[in-house]
Structure 1
Amino acid sequence: MAQTIYVGGLLVATPRLEDPNFRRSVVLILEHDRVGGTLGVVLNRPSDISVTQVLPTWDSLVSGPPVLFQGGPVQTDSALALAAVPSGGEPLGWRRLATRIPAVSRLGTVDLDAPPEILAGEIAQMRIFAGYAGWTPGQLEAEIAEGAWYVVDAEPGDTFFADPESLWRTVLRRQPSELAFVATCPDDPTMN
């Protein structure tokens, strides 16, 4: 079964994916094209580092938990922020994701070099990610063909899910047919 990769979609790690960077991860796709490859952020890896420690001026705008999230294994010394706007507007310092998916149509990236004051009152939720996940052209398609990822639709609350550690199971549980049963797969299938 071919799975289409698209901006605003989710990559959900299958139980077969053992890479510790992506084991049981949920990745939001931020960019995808045949020339540049794919870029996304892991949504369900909160770190122990508070936003106050690294980007104190943005702390008041971050949605809970107020920590940096491990966005992926690429450029972990850089930060990327996602924010949702409550209306259809496009505030200064915020860029809408290039997607037609209604669930993430109010989601965009934040320019962390901009003064936070220009976004205060303009955004509804925000998270900051250290690093990102990236694939060269064709690499992600090959991983999907090998059975490493499911591609599923995002829902509005996924990016800012209150309990990030349970997001993998939650996303799988809401899928149709047998894919929902994957959510019950134990952490170690040999212990089943």
Structure 2
Amino acid sequence: MRLGTEIFQVNRSLKDPYTGCLLVSEPCLNEVYFQRSVILLVDHDPLIGSMGLVLNKSSNLMLNTVIEGLENVPEIPVFCGGPMESDHLFYIHTLGRLVPGSIEIAEGLYIGGDIDVILSYIRSGNTVEGHIKFFLGYSGWEAGQLIDEIANIFWIVSEKVSPLFCICGDGEQSWRKAVVDLGEDYKSWLKYPRLPILN
């Protein structure tokens, strides 16, 4: 039995993951990328696998140093989307059909599209805050892997998805907000220490 498993004995009905949902990590998940993380699932196919972006893990990098030609605009943070393809840039946004090729993954929330249009939007002086979020890397699961992790309560599926939360959230406060949104049965998670072995 894992340390602290009594906190998982809650009245829950495990939901299946789907494109556009959130994955909220259980409180003692100790992996560096996923500790107290909230992941936006941007693609899910039970027969192929799943792809997500960690929403609340900032890096020390700024888009201005990753992409040339942004020296004269305000600094734009880049987040750690996950351990896979960490040299590849991903972005979610609210710009919708203004960005050709973008895909709506939840109501009012899009991924990808023409990067030149995104950069032109930024260089024209438009605000990024609340509209675009950038990531290096992504999180991925093989077919069946994510379902197994959900069954083992590594993740809880949340349907409380909003563009504002996904784009503006950062740090442990985002995880705590996502836990609160899961409902009363998960309130005990908020009291669980980050490093239970030290308690």
Q: What TM bracket, shorter-length normalisation?
A: 0.7 to 0.9
- Determine the structure 2 residue equivalent to 1:117: 120
Aligned to 2:173: 166
| TM-score, reference length from structure 2 | 0.79
Unaligned runs of 5+ in 2: 1-12
Larger radius of gyration: 2
Is 1:4 equivalent to 2:6 in the alignment? no
Determine if contact 1:97/1:109 at 8 Å carries over to the other structure.
Answer: yes
Corresponding residue SS for 1:159:
helix
Task: Write the distance in 1 (CA, Å) between the matches of 2:181 and 2:193.
Answer: 18
1:91 positional shift:
1.7
Structure (1/2) with the larger helix percentage: 2
> Which sits farther off after the overlay, 50-59 or 70-79?
50-59
Corresponding residue for 1:101? none
In structure 1, distance between residues paired with 2:60 and 2:137? 15
Q: Call closer, same or farther: CA 1:58–1:25 in 2, change over 3 Å.
A: farther
Q: 1:182 to 1:25 in 2, by over 3 A?
A: same
Task: Name stretches of at least 5 consecutive residues in structure 1 with no aligned partner.
Answer: 99-103
Identical pairs, percent: 27
RMSD between superposed Cα atoms in Å: 2.6
Shift of 1:163: 4.1
Aligned length: 182
Q: Shift in Å at residue 122 of structure 1?
A: 10
Is residue 177 of structure 2 the alignment partner of residue 156 of structure 1? no
Deviations 1:81-136 (A, max 9, x none): 11113xxx5123351324xxxxx311112335424226866986101100000101
DSSP 3-state at the match of 1:44: coil
Any idea what SS the aligned residue of 1:174 has?
A: helix
Task: Give the aligned partner of residue 47 of structure 2.
Answer: 35
